Amino acid sequence: ILNVEQSPQSLHVQEGDSTNFTCSFPSSNFYALHWYRWETAKSPEALFVMTLNGDEKKKGRISATLNTKEGYSYLYIKGSQPEDSATYLCAPNSGGSNYKLTFGKGTLLTVNP
């Protein structure tokens, strides 16, 4: 199991603001990091799966970076929109055929119009 910390726990921003939040994990024994978005009344949906140190992935206005040496990943949202309101979950894992997908507590983002 990789212990994971997500911060902040919750965040309120205005429409149009850019924002970011953090997923921290032990840097040893790391293999991959997953980011998911979970909107109210819907199922969690994968945003990114990242494995390489220094990797940066982008999907529309959302991007993520990964630092495996220091054990953190940032998720950025540029120009937040109300539809970005959701809980953002990260799940690091140590790989291997027997890995299990366990999540942090998440960051609850609310974008006010």
Residues of this chain that interact with another protein (CB under 8 A) are 1, 31-32, 34, 36, 42-46, 49, 51, 89, 93-106
Determine the Cα–Cα distance for residues 88 and 6; give it in Å rounded to an integer: 9
Tokens matching residue 81: 């929109």
Determine the Cα–Cα distance for residues 41 and 69; give it in Å rounded to an integer: 36
Of residues 1 and 15, the one with the C-beta less far from another protein: 1
User: Is 37:47 a contact under the CB 8 Å cutoff?
Assistant: yes
Of residues 71 and 106, the one with the C-beta less far from another protein: 106
Of residues 15 and 45, the one with the C-beta less far from another protein: 45
Least distance in angstroms from the C-beta of 62 to another protein: 15
